Structure 1
Amino acid sequence: LTSTNAQLVLLTATLPPSAERQLWKRLHYTRENVSLYRDRTSRYNVAYRV
């Protein structure tokens, strides 16, 4: 996926900040090329369905 230059959206509620570097490395990204947004997880007006 990383070789196609497609945009990726990654959602996680369990990845600690200490493991981010390993994630970027496995995806062949550098932190400088990633837009990262964080917010509280206790939002009652947001729901995810899979």
Structure 2
Amino acid sequence: MDIDYFIIAGVVVVLFVLLFLFLRRNKKDEKEFEEDVIQEELNPEKHKEDKF
């Protein structure tokens, strides 16, 4: 039984590409989250006063 190194190389390349895309998306989401948190701290949401 021969090992097909081209298939193994292709799978490894696909895994690296998926890992790269995942890490890039994670970094982008983290940056957006930090900006949202900072914005909320600067301009807190005002609540309506409840009148009973």
Using the size of structure 2 for normalisation, the TM-score is 0.22
| Higher helix content, 1 or 2 | 2
Which has the higher Rg, Structure 1 or Structure 2?
2
